[in-house]
Structure 1
Amino acid sequence: MKNRERYIAQLNRMHSGKGFIAALDQSGGSTPKALAQYGVQESSYTNEEEMYTLVHEMRTRIIKSPAFDREYILGAILFENTMNRKIDDQWTADYLWEKKSIVPFLKVDKGLADLANGVQLMKPISNLDELLTQAIERNVFGTKMRSVIKEANAKGISEVVEQQFTVGLQIFEKGLIPIIEPEVDIYSVDKEESEEILKKEILKQLSSLSKDVKVMLKLSIPTKNDFYSELMSNPNVLRVVALSGGYAQEEANHKLAQNHGLIASFSRALSEGLTVGQSDDDFNTKLGKSIKGIYVASIA
């Protein structure tokens, strides 16, 4: 019963809580870049295990910071390796919920396929069922998976959305809430046109879901303000969140604030300015300032 109660509490928090989602889910390919941004050079580790230990130390420092607080943060997205590590003798997802009341999510995709029809689909997720079983054992609430749209190609965008919803339904049926993330590249020359096609395709997929199915959507901040409000009011959509997509924190916040009801799920823009050499005071002050800025933009 405890887990059912936890699930309902987390569902309510994600649906109507004030705040944003912290994306702490850089994986194998993007970890060296995330560590370098934090001031840890590749010469500091000699293999993958050492690299993941260092990135877990970075994430632990963020999660344990007093600035990383439920008042501002609703959820956190973890990478599989982080899910299977502990913070103060608790599995990371348990620490997040039990100590911080922050809802844990897991990134489940295996990266992007090569560009075709103007998009990058997800690579096949070969061990998905096994990974979802493990996520449930670790008390994770939901998942996240990313595809990328580079150009306004109707066939490609339709394929991206269809793939996302097919896998999303499998995740929901397993007992987890999927975050569906068809990212539109912010540097795309026809970004606005891609968003028009994307919204149409998402609405088409949503209309085919039975009413008990819940999904979340993670989208690039749209070119046209409030463009996704129709998606937010859809009964199958628990929440619509935005990625920073390469915008610096200040610009991402500025754009986000102009989209009512859209909340952040930032990664790079959240950890901007944090370095391994900072004293705890400086680290916590910088993180606190970033979190408050992103929070204010999210509740606008």
Structure 2
Amino acid sequence: MHVTPYCVACALLKRAVELEMHEEDYTRKLAIYRKLLEAVNLYIGPDIEVAELATVSFRRLKALLDRKSLYEEVIRRDLNKAISRAKSIEDSLTGKPLDERIAGALRAASLATGYRPFNTLDKLLAEPPSAVDLAAFGTSLKIGRDDSKQVMDRLYDMRRDGGIVYYAFGSVFELPYDAILIKLLRDELGLGVIGIARSERYEDYVTANDLEAVGVADLLAEVIDIGSDAATITKDDNEHLYEQLNEASLVVVKGDVQTLYFHNNPPRAPVLFLFAAPCAVLSKLFNVPEKSFN
């Protein structure tokens, strides 16, 4: 999707929150933010993708702060909490029929997109989701689109006919929840899963090193490193990878920024979007309730 004024404001609020976390000097903060605004101003136009604005603004802030990453400390501090809470969900699904486990894993992977480590507009959950949150899915936690039945039909067809799933990872805090779904795809359905990650950090998004550290790499048939810190895969920068996606049996896309890009630039393969809709832009585009999980 191309940028809207709301998208620009949301991206700038994220950068402001990150700046507050990493710079204490008031005068320097204002100077950095002024330079950031000058850079972002060049990417406000009708043909600019949200993902492009997100990538450029984040890269510029990192350069101005002279930091390679802005999220390593919070990841080291809080990732184990996500791992523990995901384990509670996986345990709650154990012993249930396969259809229920797949549906639960899909919902867990969607729920995980609602947690953000800083207090930004796209943060819908105060903590990484647990089995309690999964039980609240559809009551206190709103469901937007739930295509679980259609997804399972597609997965069973793939089990019969063979196929490969490409998985475009989002936040590193989602990884333990993604692992629940990937295990089912691999162990119960016999499907190969190819993971797509970054070489360097965009916000708290997954890098290839994270897949090794969390143990998800062992579940994957292959890991593709897009070779940058971009918010997502793009046709211009990842032309060869996009051709691979065109031949996939299913492409799983995590998070709102990646969902917006793939919605506007879909591969020929079927795409499964797993995302939260924290704002009116996503709500209107996908015709789902605001603050819902999809």
Q: Same fold (TM over 0.5)?
A: no
TM-score (norm 2): 0.30
Kindly indicate which of the two structures has a greater share of residues assigned to strand: 1
Kindly indicate which of the two structures has a greater share of residues assigned to helix: 2
TM-score (norm 1): 0.29
